[in-house]
Amino acid sequence: MSSSTPAATPTPETHPLPGARRATFLRQLHQWHWISSALCLMAMLLFSVTGFTLNHASQIEAKPSVTRLKAALPAPLRGQLEAFAAEHPDAKLPLPAALADWAEGAFPVDVRGVRAEWSEEDAYVALPRPGGDAWLRIGVDGQAEYEKTDRGWISWLNDMHKGRNAGAVWSWFIDIFAIACLVFCITGFLILKYHAANRPSTWPVIGFGIVLPILLALLFVH
């Protein structure tokens, strides 16, 4: 008598239920949403405040503080300056190392590597900064002048908001912050979409938030 082994019954493949996939995706959205909000928190508070101060810039009074300093260029450096100016008229080149060292000792400036506007009469170094302005002028006659204008901390914050004269690192920060804000907004929108079925007011509120600035721009901005 021959015995035969019954064929094994194939096990059906199991797939994640649609509800499980939805829950996993929603958890990922929530994770990206809170991470981006944590990264954006301080910067968003700063940019919100400075958005208000920029919108009311004409109503917020600022009293600029101006500092003016003068110094005489030593004779050996005067000859070097005169020769360099004669050799490079209408050029935009940094001050020679010896002149830059003297300027940093005579005035509260850091001019190493900063391009100066050269003429046969002088070298002019523009030193713009957030919340103010500054410049340094060294004449071939040996007279040097430095002026700094400080418009206060509100002006400083406003310029930081715009990235004005704040340097490359702050410019990179603004770019990264903008990307983080996009992630925050997109994930927030998708989370709202998933919960919209239980919150009937979701789409009307979203629509109002989209349409309102467009209407205001079309009707009141000329």
Report pLDDT digits (tens) over 105-154: 999 999 998 999 999 899 999 999 999 999 999 999 999 999 999 999 99
Residue 71: closest CA among 153, 145, 178: 145
> Cα torsion at 73, 77, 83, 86 (round to 10°)?
-30
- Percent of the chain at pLDDT > 90 equals 64
Residue 140: closest CA among 100, 59, 84, 190: 84
The separation between CA 91 and the C-alpha centre of its own chain, rounded to angstroms, equals 30
pLDDT number for residue 1: 46
CB 177 within 8 A of CB 171: no
pLDDT, tens only, 187-207: 999 988 888 888 888 899 999
pLDDT number for residue 200: 86
pLDDT number for residue 13: 52
